[in-house]
Amino acid sequence: MNLYRSCPFCHHETHRIHFADNRVDLAMSEGEQIEYSCPKCGKSHRFSVDELYRKPSKWIFYISLFIFIAGVPIALKLMSYEHIGGQNTTYVLSGLTIAPVLVYLILKDGDKKRVARFNEHYFKMK
């Protein structure tokens, strides 16, 4: 998951990948202050772990879309067999549309919880 921060000099938002579940884990692995240099203005700044935040992932939609796109040829191939026809065709087609939506909703919910867990709990009490 990406960790975002905003440059205090030019307000350019940058991110980097880090898999810490919360700010305490992040502080334990990287330290309480993390130094970043801004790719836009080049100035470097030490961020407290409480200044870093997460955002919902954009990949979840694309993963679901990929499942849908990959599922179409599989469903068409399955329907070409003789034992899948008539009413079973309805089940295959509804499964094809419901599965990516379910995957999207499940991944979106998990991502929302991960983002909230990171952003709502600070390392130091405010």
Binding site for Zn ion (CB under 5 A): 7, 9-10, 12, 38, 40-41
Buried b / exposed e over 91-116, threshold 16 CB at 10 Å, is: ebeeebeeebeebbeebeeebeebbe
At 12 the three-state DSSP class reads coil
Place of tokens 């935040």: 53
Within 8 A by CB and 6+ apart from 93, the residues are 75
Residue closer to Zn ion by CB (options 38, 49) is: 38
| Least distance in angstroms from the C-beta of 33 to Zn ion | 17
Given the complex with Zn ion, which of 45 and 114 has the nearer CB atom?
A: 45
* Residue 46 or 121 having the CB closest to Zn ion: 46
> Of 6 and 119, which CB lies nearer to Zn ion in the complex structure?
6
Shortest Cβ 26–Zn ion spacing (Å): 21
Give least dist CB 22 to Zn ion, A. Answer: 26
User: Smallest distance from the beta carbon of 39 to Zn ion, in angstroms?
Assistant: 8
Distance separating alpha carbons of residues 26 and 18, to the nearest angstrom:
8
